Amino acid sequence: MVLKIYGYNMSTCTRLVALICKEKEIPYELVTINLAKGEHKNPEYLKTQPFGQVPYIDDDGFILYESRAIARYLIKKYPNQGTTGLVPVDPKKEALFEQAASVEVSHFNSHAGPLMFEKLFKARTGGTTDQVKAAEHLKNLEAKLDVYEIILGKQKYLAGDEVTLADLQHLPFGSMLFLAKHGDVIEKRTNVARWWKDISNRPAWLAVKDGA
Ligand SMILES: N[C@@H](CCC(=O)N[C@@H](CS)C(=O)NCC(=O)O)C(=O)O
């Protein structure tokens, strides 16, 4: 049975899973859960994804949610297919990958996510941007990207000189920064800009960035 992604094409987390499918050359079917219509809060949906969020996958009856967990599962299930090495197996390389993956969650997503919530998602759902909160998230994100600039001045990618899932995890929200006219936070930092140009031009991302 073809892998099913229950998600929404505008959702950043759905895009991460679709991106990994493209990288690993895994055929998939996107089953749309329309967030705008609240389908992710239906009692029937909550039986499978109890947090009422997208995405989850159905891999021949195996159900899994949380986009980063899904990405790791697919990468490990198909080690020799498509792009290899996205989650390294050597213990030290894997530890550096884990460090970089944690950096994305703790230092990037935790600021870029709420910033995009204020600047894009609220506007799309008829809300009003809280400019004070948005400015605070932007300031925090900039401070973290100053550290990225130092790291990426010493190595090509966040976990070393090979691309890993940790880099790719930045693509969905990183692209939204440009949509929200905050792409300068990436472009004005030489090493961050070089890294961003590299990862954002990967064919797999170009295939999903405008819709999963
Ligand atoms: N940590 C979860 C986050 C999932 C998430 O926040 N999904 C969003 C769409 S990108 C969603 O379903 N939002 C609707 C809601 O939370 O009610 C993951 O990575 O899968």
Confidence of residue 212 (pLDDT cuts 50, 70, 90): confident
Residue pair 26/81 in contact by the 8 Å Cβ criterion: yes
Residue 211 has pLDDT above 90, yes or no: no
Residues near 49 by beta carbon (within 8 Å), at least 6 away in sequence: 6, 40, 56, 65
Residue pair 191/155 in contact by the 8 Å Cβ criterion: no
Phi/psi at 7 (5° precision): -165, -160
Distance separating alpha carbons of residues 207 and 182, to the nearest angstrom = 23
Residue 2 has pLDDT above 90, yes or no: yes
As a whole number of Å, the CA-based R_g of the chain is: 17
> What residues are in contact with ligand 1 under a 6 Å CB criterion?
11-13, 35, 40, 52-54, 66-68
Cis peptide before 55 (omega within 30 of 0): yes
Q: To which H or E segment does residue 56 belong?
A: strand 56-59
Residue 132 confidence (pLDDT): 97
Phi/psi at 13 (5° precision): -70, -35
Atom 13 (ligand 1) nearest CA: 53
Residue 124 confidence (pLDDT): 81
**Distance from Cα 7 to the centre of ligand 1, integer Å:** 9
Report DSSP state, residue 178: H
| Minimum-distance ligand 1 atom for the alpha carbon of 65 | 20
| Minimum-distance ligand 1 atom for the alpha carbon of 70 | 20
Mutating to test ligand 1, I would choose from 54, 57, 104, 110 the residue with most ligand atoms within 8 A of its C-beta, which is 54
Mean pLDDT confidence for 78-92: 97
Mutating to test ligand 1, I would choose from 32, 53, 70 the residue with most ligand atoms within 8 A of its C-beta, which is 53
Residues near 195 by beta carbon (within 8 Å), at least 6 away in sequence: 148, 152, 156, 157, 158, 167
Residue 125 confidence (pLDDT): 81
> Bridge partners of 208?
none
The mean of the pLDDT values for the chain is 97
pLDDT, one tens digit per residue, over 133-156 is 999 999 999 999 999 999 999 999
Atom 9 (ligand 1) nearest CA: 11
The closest alpha carbon to 22, from 82, 68, 84, belongs to 82
Q: Is the dihedral of CA 23, 63, 15, 197 positive or negative?
A: negative
Task: For this complex, say whether ipTM is above 0.95.
Answer: yes
pLDDT, one tens digit per residue, over 91-115 is 999 999 999 999 999 999 999 999 9
Residue pair 20/208 in contact by the 8 Å Cβ criterion: no
Atom 18 (ligand 1) nearest CA: 66
Residue 175 has pLDDT above 80, yes or no: yes
